[in-house]
Amino acid sequence: PLGSLPGVTVCLLTLASPQPGSGGDTLLLARLEPGTTPVNLRIPTALTKAPLRSVLRDFDAIQREQKETNNCTDKQDWWLRRSELDRRMKSLIESLETQVLGCWRGVLLPSAPEPALAEDAVRLHPELRRCGLRDP
């Protein structure tokens, strides 16, 4: 039960596809927080500026190149490669945040108990509905 969760927020991101074994372009996002109703979102990404499949391909390439970089013995070359990988990873994270998650990235942020933020949430509700939020 959610009531037994410690005082933290848990966010789960799952890649889904309509057919088992095929690469998916739908992101399932679940947010679990004590004292609140769970939030579950289905975020289709196939038509976004950066489809999730493309972002994941880039991530796989970065991981492969990181393994190769770890075997590099020349310090200068290692730092050049490492800096380039860091730059690419930063770009990938920004792309994931702005182009894949889009307006839903706020769901991953921690909640704050401030009343002003609750008022902001009420004002944002219509905008989130335009992005696809469905009320339970």
pTM confidence score: 0.65
When divided into structural domains, the chain yields a total of 1
pLDDT on residue 136: 56
> Is 107 domain-assigned?
yes
Beta pairing class for 10-16 and 26-32: antiparallel
> Phi and psi (nearest 5°) for 75?
-60, -45
State pLDDT tens for residues 68-89.
Answer: 999 999 999 999 999 999 999 9
* pLDDT at residue 45 is higher than 60: yes
> Is 25 domain-assigned?
yes
Q: What is the span of the domain harbouring residue 36?
A: 2-130
> Is 112 domain-assigned?
yes
Query: Residues 131, 102: contact at Cβ < 8 Å?
Result: yes
> Is 39 domain-assigned?
yes
The percentage of the chain sitting over the pLDDT mark of 90, rounded to a whole number, equals 27
